[in-house]
Amino acid sequence: MAASQNKSYKSGSKRQTNRTTGKRKSTGSKKVHNKINDDPNKELYHDEITLIITLVISLLLILSNFNLSGSFGKTINGITFGLFGFAAYLLPFFLFFGIAFYIANRGNPIALRKLISSIILGIIFTALIQLTIVGYSSDIKLTEYYISSAKLKNGGGIIGGLLCRLLYPLFGAVGTYIILIAFMIISFMFITGKALFAYLSSKSEESLNQIRERRIRQEEEDVYEENAEEEAVPRRKARTVLLKKNDLSTDIKDSTANNSGKAAEDGFLSMLKKKKTRPGKEDTINAANFDMEEITSSTVSDISIQRSGLYTDGTSTVDKIDTIDEQMKLKFGKNTEELNEMQPNVERPGIDEDIEKLLHAANEDIELQTNEKAAEAFKNDEQPQITTTQPGNAAETTDFSRNSMEKSEKKFITAEGGSNLDEIKINQNSEEKKTYIFPPLNLLSKPKNDTKGMMDRDLKETALKLQKTLESFGVRVTVTNVSCGPAVTRYELQPEQGVKVSRITGLADDIKLNLAAADVRIEAPIPGKAAVGIEVPNKENSAVMFRELIESKDFKQHPSDIAFAVGKDIGGQTIVTDIGKMPHLLIAGATGSGKSVCINTLIMSILYKAKPSDVRMIMVDPKVVELSVYNGIPHLLIPVVTDPKKASAALNWAVMEMTERYNKFADLGVRDVKGYNEKVATVAEYQDERYQKLPQIVIIVDELADLMMVAPGEVEDAICRLAQMARAAGLHLIIATQRPSVNVITGLIKANIPSRIAFSVSSAIDSRTIIDGSGAEKLLGKGDMLFFPSGYPKPVRVQGAFISDKEVSAVVEFLTAQNSAAEYNEEVVNKISNAQAVENSTSAAANDRDDYFIEAGKFIIDKDKASIGMLQRVYKIGFNRAARIMDQLSEAGVVGPEEGTKPRKILMSLEEFEQYVDEYI
């Protein structure tokens, strides 16, 4: 008995041991299985293999349809045509694209619904073919449908025949057609996601609103014209009497009243003609629909991927849908509640009476303040041009512009020998000014509609990898948004509570290593958002063409004549800025980073936007080859200056022009060039030769470093004076340099030029010299820039527009051929030439340098200390000679001016001094 109990106990223990062992084995297998599943490439391999097998099967089906695959193909041919009939020709394509669509949208219920709808549509298609081509007969058996379709390769096969056999006896031929077409329409609705009746309803509503708006606008214009014509004659008589009796102050008051009346008129018209705008479309992708098993709602929240119009990869992306109402809104455009609320409001009783009252009251106010030109314009059926602009998300503004005739005469000169001012022949015969013909857009290259850019799947994988990388270092973040731009993608991360931003910025190198990226730039935090931005370069960059920018509404509707199409930001939005509001710009970056292309886009923006009577340009190009192509365009005030010594004379002339303009402003009692031109155009007393319209002048200097080496004192003083005072006078500086060092971009220049553009540089020190912060050293080059205009809290990363030399040459040739010859200003040319002659005589006298000049310069630079006493001791010379040597070094820019008891600053390095000696001694 005891033995049996012991035996049973042993067997029981053995069974228990086996169970335990089994559990351990299963646990071990689960761990191995989990390790295998953790491989992120496993699912990718499965999908690739599935697609390849599907492609092979589809190709074999295509070959079998045409009897090109042997006996096996003939068998498959009979089966497919017997099942689907004529639709067997489409079966291979449907099979491949259907499986590919399912793999790309696995887990998406809407995509699955579309796929099922496509299958139903195919079945209905076979039934329609069977009913249309073969017809229905009650004597035909199901097997005969299969045999007939397999032999003749037509009809709908056994599937189409079965569907016809079910419907035709019950509903007849017409009823069967109606049912099949109805189900076909329903399938199309599920596939496209658009409802037929909702679409018709929205279109009818839009048409009704357009008709009502057109009727209201026409009534307003009729009332406005009638009142303007009635009051034109009394106002003209009254104004003539006032102009004869009153003095200058009365004229100024009348002008002010006219301006206020114009403002009231603008506000009224903008209120009546304001239109609703639709926000830009952007695709969003939910992180819950990631095609990877590792992503769950607890690890990654919703990620919104914003794309520009450059990327259309063919994959449809939808927002996260939480309620049935949102699903209905996505499918049918509007839900039923909104339709019920909107229908009673389509026609509101009494709205016509209210608008008429409003028009009557507004016309009474406008009649009292409208000037004589407005009345004559309406009397002659000349309607003012209204341009509505919409910069970004700002409110709409209305520009009420009127055409005014200019009676000023200009003299022409022709340049022989390119940019040599001394050889310019002045044409004293005044010619009648031709109307400026803007260059057409077909001279520019169209943007390529390529599908470059990162796929949505790549963006999701990178976001997940980024999140896991930070999590491995103990930094828990949530990827909230992804913005994919032309060259860079920004991932917006929201750190958890208690995570310092400095911990994320300190992991820049680790992030770059794990993402295998060329470089990574971290923006912490993003201005206006509670998130940290990590900018990762795209695998393939997409070029931003200049034509794409000037065709945008932001550029066309920009009110400024000196609008500058910069490029596109990370979100794909077009960046257009006003040079007048900058008001000066500093462009710096290494060689080949995109400075010259940026200057070309700035010049071309002005050529496509402004007339020569409104904007003139002065170009300084010490490199000779960059801007000389623009010689001959009507916007140039003088030929392109290529001599560095003449550049300082051109800048000094700009300073004198600024001073003269301020004197004219003081005579007329205005504050800026805009007020001056308005008063000259409106007040009759100032419409003579003494007061002419002043154009805005844009001064472009392509290489500042070379000018600073030739005449650092004069150039810096002129630039600082212009940067401090020239904005109101209508003069704007654009300065570019490829050597962003403190010797070139001095503290005075930086302090007076608030707007900067930084291209790729070699070190963070150069980046801080340009934009007072690091970041430019991580740019990619080829137009990748940090745009930092005045008023921005932080620089914005922008992909600059590209314009080729061929396009620039085509535009210049068109302007020189279609417009009048370049109207160079004779007076400006003479002043610059005379100033250069005086400077040459002065420099010739200064060439009598001391024998110790070169030796003393090298000694001072080597010792990094400059004093007259040191020169006396080293070279054993007197005080007067040592002081003269020091003055000569100061004039050459080697040392700074005297600062009392402080030692002079050393401004040149030894290499720069040797280069100066080779060129000028």
What local confidence, expressed as pLDDT, does residue 539 receive? 82
Q: Give the burial string for 423-454 (b: 16+ CB within 10 Å, else e).
A: ebeeeeeeeebeebeebeeebbbebeeeeebb
Query: Does residue 124 carry a pLDDT above 70?
Result: yes
How does the average pLDDT of the chain come out, rounded? 73
Query: Does residue 600 carry a pLDDT above 90?
Result: yes
Over range 864-871, report the average pLDDT: 89
Residue 871: left if φ>0, alpha if ψ -120 to 50, beta else—which one? alpha
Percent pLDDT > 90 in the chain is 15
What is the rounded distance in angstroms from the CA atom of residue 303 to the CA atom of residue 287?
5
Query: Does residue 579 carry a pLDDT above 50?
Result: yes
Encoded tokens for 78: 């009979």
Q: If pLDDT is split at 50, 70 and 90, which confidence band does 449 have?
A: low
Query: Does residue 817 carry a pLDDT above 60?
Result: yes
Query: Does residue 587 carry a pLDDT above 60?
Result: yes
What local confidence, expressed as pLDDT, does residue 309 receive? 46
**Residue 348: how many other CB atoms lie within 10 Å:** 10
886, 909 Cβ separation under 8 angstroms: no
SS (H, E, C) 479-515: EEEEEECCCEEEEEEEECCCCCHHHHHCCHHHHHHHH
Q: What confidence tens digit (pLDDT) does each residue in 253-271 have?
A: 344 444 444 444 444 344 4
Q: Please report the sign of the dihedral spanned by the C-alpha atoms of residue 367, residue 372, residue 376, residue 377.
A: negative
What local confidence, expressed as pLDDT, does residue 836 receive? 52
Query: Does residue 431 carry a pLDDT above 60?
Result: no
Q: If pLDDT is split at 50, 70 and 90, which confidence band does 434 have?
A: low
Over range 493-517, report the average pLDDT: 88
What local confidence, expressed as pLDDT, does residue 387 receive? 37
Over range 480-493, report the average pLDDT: 88
Q: What confidence tens digit (pLDDT) does each residue in 80-119 have?
A: 888 888 888 888 898 899 888 888 888 788 888 888 888 8
What is the rounded distance in angstroms from the CA atom of residue 583 to the CA atom of residue 726?
9
Weakest mean pLDDT among 311-325, 358-372, 795-809, 821-835: 311-325
**Residue of 824, 503, 797, 805 lying closest to 640 (CA atoms):** 824
The SS3 of residue 2 is helix
CA distances from 556 to 57, 442, 559 (A): 53, 16, 8
What local confidence, expressed as pLDDT, does residue 305 receive? 56
The SS3 of residue 134 is helix
What local confidence, expressed as pLDDT, does residue 838 receive? 44
What local confidence, expressed as pLDDT, does residue 336 receive? 41
Q: Which residue has the higher pLDDT, 2 or 664?
A: 664
Q: What confidence tens digit (pLDDT) does each residue in 156-198 have?
A: 888 888 888 888 888 888 888 898 888 888 888 888 877 766 6
Over range 502-525, report the average pLDDT: 87
Domain boundaries, the chain: 1-38, 42-193, 197-277+346-399, 546-830, 849-920
Query: Does residue 231 carry a pLDDT above 90?
Result: no
Where do the H-state alpha helices sit in 273-335? Answer: 324-332
What local confidence, expressed as pLDDT, does residue 340 receive? 42
Q: If pLDDT is split at 50, 70 and 90, which confidence band does 643 have?
A: confident
Q: Which residues contact 29 (CB under 8 A, 6 or more apart)?
A: none
Where do the H-state alpha helices sit in 684-772? Answer: 704-710, 712-729, 747-752, 764-771
Strand partners, 802: 545
Q: Which residue has the higher pLDDT, 232 or 831?
A: 831
CATH fold of the domain at 849-920? Arc Repressor Mutant, subunit A (1.10.10)
The SS3 of residue 521 is strand
* CATH class of this structure's domain 546-830: alpha beta
pTM for the complete prediction? Answer: 0.50
Q: If pLDDT is split at 50, 70 and 90, which confidence band does 307 have?
A: low
What local confidence, expressed as pLDDT, does residue 298 receive? 40
Over range 405-410, report the average pLDDT: 36
Over range 735-741, report the average pLDDT: 87
Where do the H-state alpha helices sit in 70-138? Answer: 70-84, 91-104, 109-129
What local confidence, expressed as pLDDT, does residue 321 receive? 35
Q: What confidence tens digit (pLDDT) does each residue in 125-160 have?
A: 888 888 888 777 777 777 888 888 888 888 888 888
Q: Which residue has the higher pLDDT, 174 or 711?
A: 174
